[in-house]
Amino acid sequence: MSSYAARRASLIAQMQARGGGVAILPTAPEVHRNSDAEYPYRHDSTFYYLSGFVEPEAVIVLVAGKKNQSILFCREKNSEREIWEGFRHGPDNAREAFGFDAAFPIDALDAILPKLLADQPALFYALGSNSALDAQVQGWLKKVRTQSRAGITAPSSAHDVSGLLNEMRLIKDDSELAIMRRAATISAEAHARAMRMAKPGLHEYQIDAELLHEFRRHGSDFPAYTSIVATGANACVLHYRAGATVLQDGDLVLIDAGCELDSYASDITRTFPANGRFTPAQTTLYELVLAAQHAAIAAIRPGQRFMDGHDAAVRILSQGMLDTGLLDANKVGTLDDVITNGDYRHFYMHRTGHWLGMDVHDVGEYREVNDTTSEGGDKPWRILHPGMTLTVEPGIYVRPAPGIPEQYWNIGIRIEDDVAVTADGAEVMSSAAPKTIADIEAMMRNT
Ligand code: GLY
Ligand code: MN
Ligand code: MN
């Protein structure tokens, strides 16, 4: 059985454990850009996770009943459209190639779904994520209810199927980890290329082009998210893109960029000096962020909680803010005060990481949602297990302000790696991107 079929079987088993029913799982809609142009199509991650099928206009229907069934609805073959848009599998081909029990044209949904939903106890569907399909599903349920005099019942309960699937996606299997390692390695090479090419006088977009070159030449379809290439003060704008600012001698360049490969994201940040040499002030803050990142990675292993890495990073960054005078101990008090009161947020305002997978901010709960010991308070943070993948991305961002030591103004630094939880620790999948000051300066000298 392919891993896709095995995942469908696993979901059906979980539906059976909840009394059975029908799951309806659409892929993503195509997004129109203007006149005849569309945005590049990207399938829905969960749909792909269950099928490996990348065409738009497709829906998976899983029946967990007396007889289990795995059904694909997709576009029919169309010789004219295929001349313009390319190959379509068509239902017969797709059923065979993707291992479904049955496949039908997408236009047959309205005719077939009311029959499949008849006498089923429950609907498994992510209501609210696709308004066009929501309306269709309501129509099918209405149609089933009109048959009540014939003794046919409609599903009487609904489950949010995305909760089950998100938990499946949270733990990556070996084939997923292999792709993620490769995606991270390509992105790491792109960061190294950017370091080699960077020099004062270039525009941010020219560095962006180097990243894209490296992604594409290794077969990546597109970046996993909009790349950030931010130089000087731009590095302190968290969601900056790659603009037209010219790299200046003496400034840092922050690059947050990762390719998507075979539907899996990578997400790496490196920060380096435009001229290839860190200044003393840049060195101080860089070593601080690097130490925070090492501490956060050291806190990743089975049994630790998701937030332990963040807490470790915050502790080191906060101490560094006091040591460097970014925070004035006379005003903010001790290290514990800084952490308790959140003063560090002035310079470090985001979390140290997130789940990573098919989506760059991947699915999966961050807390133990089934925990019953928390008595109405926050549920405890998630315990890490082998196969979970996450980013570790501490940073420090210093905007000019009175009272802030001037040598740190406009320095923005983030160091981000992609980490897999292993049986006894953590694997840094993106370790090929130069990270120590010595390695970065050597890469920039091309030595
Ligand atoms: N690039 C998105 C993030 O770092 O979360
Ligand atoms: Mn990132
Ligand atoms: Mn990230």
Q: Which two tokens stand for residue 140?
A: 């099918």
CA distances from 5 to 12, 49, 62, 75, 76 (A): 10, 10, 11, 20, 22
- Burial track 387-409 (b if 16+ CB lie within 10 A, e otherwise): bbbbbbbbbbbbeeeeebeeebe
Q: Which among 257, 259, 304 has a CA at the least distance from the CA of 426?
A: 304
Atom of ligand 1 nearest to the CA of 269: 4
Q: Quickly list H helices, 77-154.
A: 79-85, 90-98, 109-117, 131-145
Short-list 182, 190, 181, CA closest to 242: 190
Residue 447 scores a pLDDT above 80: no
Residue 1 has pLDDT above 80, yes or no: no
Query: 72 alpha carbon to ligand 2 midpoint, in Å?
Result: 35
* N residues, the chain: 447
Q: Is the CB of 417 under 6 A from ligand 1?
A: no
The helix or strand, by DSSP H or E, that contains position 39, with its residue range, turns out to be: none
378 included as an active-site residue? no
Strands 389-392 and 268-273: what pairing?
Answer: unpaired
166, 322, 370 from 366: Cα distances, Å:
11, 30, 12
Q: In the predicted model, is pLDDT for residue 30 greater than 70?
A: yes
- What is the Å distance from ligand 1's center to 32 Cα? 25
Neighbours of ion ligand 2 (CB under 5 A): 256, 267, 416
pLDDT at 377 over 90: no
Statement: residue 409 has pLDDT above 80: yes
What share of the chain has pLDDT > 90, as a percent? 96
Helix axes 204-217, 174-197, angle to 10 degrees: 140
Phi and psi, residue 135, nearest 5°: -65, -40
pLDDT of residue 375: 81
Separation CA 54–CA 434 (nearest Å): 34
Instruction: Give mean pLDDT, residues 225-237.
Output: 97
Question: CB count, 10 Å around CB of 139?
Answer: 12
401 pLDDT more than 90: yes
Fold observed for domain 2-168: Creatine Amidinohydrolase; Chain A, domain 1 (3.40.350)
pLDDT digits (tens, 9 = 90+) for 41-71: 999 999 999 999 999 999 999 999 999 999 9
191 catalytic? Reply is no
Give the mean model confidence (pLDDT) for residues 366-370: 93
Residue 387 exposure: Cα atoms within 13 Å on the Cβ side: 11
What's the rounded Cα separation, in Å, for the pair 35 and 94?
31
Number of Cα atoms under 13 Å in the Cβ half of residue 272: 32
Q: What is the model's pTM?
A: 0.96
Question: Mean per-residue pLDDT for 290-314?
Answer: 98
Residue 324, both tokens: 């460097």
Residue 214 is given by DSSP the state H
**344-360 pLDDT, tens digit each:** 999 999 999 999 999 99
Q: What is the pLDDT of residues 258-269, one digit of tens each?
A: 999 999 999 999
pLDDT band at 296 (very low <50, low <70, confident <90, very high): very high
* Candidate from 98-102, 287-291, 316-320, 374-378 with smallest mean pLDDT: 374-378
Q: Is 251 in the pocket of ligand 1 (CB under 6 A)?
A: no
For ligand 1, say whether the CB of 392 is within 6 Å of any of its atoms: no
Catalytic residue among 204, 256, 308, 418: 256
Residues 39, 45, 47, 50: is their CA dihedral positive or negative? positive
Please name the residue whose Cα sits nearest to atom 5 of ligand 1.
361
pLDDT at 317 over 80: yes
- Label residue 243 by pLDDT band (50, 70, 90): very high
- Give the CATH H-level superfamily of domain 171-445: Creatinase/methionine aminopeptidase superfamily (3.90.230.10)
Instruction: Compute the average pLDDT of residues 397-404.
Output: 97
What pLDDT shows up at residue 374? 84
Residues of the chain with CATH 3.90.230.10: 171-445
Kind of pairing between the strands at 59-64 and 228-231: unpaired
Among candidate residues 55, 343, 362, 416, the one labeled active-site is 416
Of the residues 125, 264, 397, 408, which is catalytic?
397
Does any ligand 1 atom lie closer than 6 A to the CB of residue 256?
yes
Rounded to the nearest integer, the mean pLDDT of the chain is 97
Sequence-distant (≥ 6) Cβ neighbours of residue 143 within 8 angstroms: 114
Distance CA 44, CA 54 (A): 9
Q: pLDDT of 90-121, one tens digit each?
A: 999 999 999 999 999 999 999 999 999 999 99
Rounded to an integer, what distance in angstroms lies between the CA atom of residue 152 and that of residue 149? 7
At 422-444, the pLDDT tens digits run 999 999 999 999 999 999 999 99
Spatial separation of the C-alpha atoms in residues 354 and 390, rounded to whole Å: 5
Tokens encoding 226: 């909009």
Ligand 1: residue of 240, 270, 393 to mutate (most ligand atoms within 8 A of CB) is 393
Could you give the angle at the alpha carbon of 206 between the alpha carbons of 205 and 208, nearest 5°?
60
Grade residue 129 by pLDDT with cuts at 50, 70 and 90.
confident
Report pLDDT digits (tens) over 132-172.
Answer: 999 999 999 999 999 999 999 999 999 999 999 999 999 99
All CATH 3.40.350.10 domain ranges in the chain, comma separated: 2-168
Q: Sorting pLDDT into bands at 50, 70 and 90, what band is 376?
A: confident
Q: How far is CA 382 from the centre of its chain?
A: 17
C-beta 418 within 6 A of ligand 1: no
Q: Residue 381 is encoded by which pair of tokens?
A: 């943070």
Q: Region 229-257: what's the mean pLDDT? A: 96
Is residue 294 annotated as part of the catalytic site, yes or no? no
* 27 neighbors 56 (Cβ within 8 angstroms): yes
Distance (Å, whole) CA 305 – CA 150: 54
Distances (CA, A) of 58 to 73, 87, 88, 162: 5, 15, 11, 17
